[in-house]
Amino acid sequence: METVVEKTVITLTPNAVDEVRSLLALPENAGKHMRYYVEQGGCSGMQYGMVFDEKRAGDLVSEQAGVNVLVDAISVDFLRGMVVDFSDALSGGGFKISNPNAKQSCGCGKSFEA
């Protein structure tokens, strides 16, 4: 399986790394990695996706504090420079994405216009 190791496509904050690590420790995620991708959809044209997955041929892989982050070759240009944070606040908690490639984002933060 050919993968490309790249310095950093997506940066995870320490809070995001901690949350991803805790999720990777669950039995259903054993042996998997954190994958970020984009797909058509959402109210702004493209939407973010996150899933625990196995490495695939052509993936760009970066390692951050022991967490492997996977990005497919199609999504990389949309996600390069993105920062992912995590908040466990009761109101507005969850993963938060800051993407310098988004010209416009929707109010929910889950979709954007490239």
Q: Is the pLDDT of residue 101 over 70?
A: yes
pLDDT, tens digit (0-9, with 9 covering 90-100), for 17-56: 999 999 999 999 999 999 999 887 656 577 888 999 999 9
pTM exceeds 0.85 = no
Q: Give the whole-angstrom CA distance, residue 100 versus residue 23.
A: 26
Band the pLDDT of 8: cuts 50, 70, 90: confident
Q: Is the pLDDT of residue 112 over 50?
A: no
Assign domain 4-113 to its CATH superfamily: HesB-like domain (2.60.300.12)
